[in-house]
Amino acid sequence: MFFLKINAIVLILLVVFSQLSCLKIEVTQTGETTSDRLTRKADLSFTNKATSSIKFTIDPSSTYQKIFGFGAALTEAAAVNFLKLSSDLQNEIFSQYYHNLGYTVARLHINSCDFSESSYSFDDTADDFGLSDWSLNNGHDPHTLIPLAKKALSFNPNLKIFASPWSPPAWMKGNNQMIRSSDPGLKSNPQIHKSWALYFSKWISAYENEGIPIWGVTVQNEPANDPTWEACMYSPSEEAEFIANYLGPQLKNDHPDLKIMIWDYNKDNIEIWADTILGNKQASQYVDGVAFHWYSGSQFENVQSVYEKWGDKYFLFATEACVCPAKGYQDWNRGERYGYDIIGDLNAGSIGWVDWNICLDMEGGPNHLGNNCGSPVMVDADSNPQRVVYNPPFFYMGQISKFLIPDSIRIGLNIQNNDENLVATSFLTPKNQIVLIVQNQNDNERSFDIVYKNMIANYIIPEHAITTFVFDA
């Protein structure tokens, strides 16, 4: 009997060790001081031995938001650059974005934005409240945005596209011009408000007639900003009123499945805007989510506060980020800023993260008001041969978007003895795989243990690197 018990124990241990050795962890890494650029590294194996005091313990029993997707904006500036490239380079860039990085979301602008060649709208006839002169054929979108969006859809037919206005036509605004904004931005004429809501609907219908389905809209890009380019200011209560009385009913009637997102500006005031609009019963019935940008700083606690208060009914979505100016576009810190913000936003409750221009020229444009910026992909379409440059943000985006496929669920991650320059997040994918992403912003390497179901794997992450770990749950 004694020997039978010993044999049983040995058998159990053999099974446990067999399971440990069979469960492999796939490792993909991007690093500044290494040659790694979305590079597949050697697999790890789980053991039962703790090695480091820093521990990332994955807890699938705690679940949070689902991933909607990652992507970038398709602007007129991007289109001007992209459409000049040879078909081979066009296919290379979009294959990288939509196949390799797994982009599933895109953003368009309604009317012009700063990254357009000039200011434009689709109806410049003053007081044309019924929009009888509205026309998509204004010399811009049919030659730029529409071909670009169709090309993107050819690479991902399931691409989810949302759109944002920077400015209504000049005749609808208090300052009678598309650039800058008075406060309030829209004239205080109910006919104007009704007409502007109808304008949204006509634009959506026109794009859908071109074979470009629109998943959602934001009410206004940066409604609390008065920059030197296209803009239209609202207060929180003004945006709530516009949604409740005009935009919401119009879009619910004409496009009932369309998603409406509020705010679409920085994290500093996201709580005020969310509380005001989502707390308005008339407006909130038409709202699906809260969009936000990164330009006022990380402020993840503000996003988390909105998630904890409103996340059971409304999603949060990071819809714009970029690094300016264009000079220094190969700076590694730009990639780290992307990774840090994406991980922080995801941990705070965001369903995804959308970059600004999908590609720009080597000067960070064109931009009709000189507000040039960097982009993960920059091109020189006028050189011979034509040139494409993939910058650090491209690889940092890929370390996340490539692995966090739609419907992945954020799960618990308990971190012990960490420092603030080592950030991480964890998800369970629809393929029943665990994804752990760790970013090291320190000037030296860090050793840490991955702990899952009493199994342990150790990894030493290089300085200024981001590493993604994938294994079966």
> Between β-strands 350-357 and 289-293, what pairing exists: parallel, antiparallel or unpaired?
unpaired
Distance CA 41, CA 2 (A): 46
Distance CA 72, CA 61 (A): 32
From 393, 274, 266, select the one nearest 324 (Cα to Cα).
393
Q: Is 15 helix (H, G, I), strand (E, B) or coil?
A: helix
What residues are paired with 413 via a beta bridge? Answer: 58
Q: What is the distance, to the nearest Å, from the Cα of residue 124 to the centroid of all Cα atoms in its chain? A: 32
Indicate which residue of 230, 239, 320, 336 is catalytic. 320
Q: Check if the beta carbon of residue 350 is closer than 8 Å to that of residue 311.
A: no
> Between β-strands 160-165 and 216-218, what pairing exists: parallel, antiparallel or unpaired?
parallel
Q: Any catalytic annotation for residue 222?
A: yes
Q: How many CA atoms lie within 13 A of 217 on its CB side?
A: 28
The CA distances from residue 188 to 191, 251, 314, in Å, are 9, 21, 29
DSSP states of 300-312 as a string?
HHHHHHHHHHHTT
Burial (CB count within 10 angstroms: exposed 0-12, middle 13-18, buried 19+), residue 203: buried
437 Cβ neighbours under 8 A, 6+ residues apart: 343, 399, 400, 403, 404, 424, 425, 426, 466, 467, 468, 469
From 464, 468, 470, 364, select the one nearest 34 (Cα to Cα).
464
Residues comprising the chain, all counted:
473
What residues are paired with 218 via a beta bridge? Answer: 261
If you search the block for the tokens 């998630």, which residue do you land on? 307
From 161, 151, 166, 147, select the one nearest 107 (Cα to Cα).
161
Indicate which residue of 222, 239, 271, 336 is catalytic. 222
Distance CA 50, CA 451 (A): 9
Q: Any catalytic annotation for residue 208?
A: no
- For residue 328, the surrounding DSSP H or E stretch is none
Structure tokens at 42: 């050697």
Q: Check if the beta carbon of residue 375 is closer than 8 Å to that of residue 360.
A: yes
The catalytic site residues sit at: 222, 320
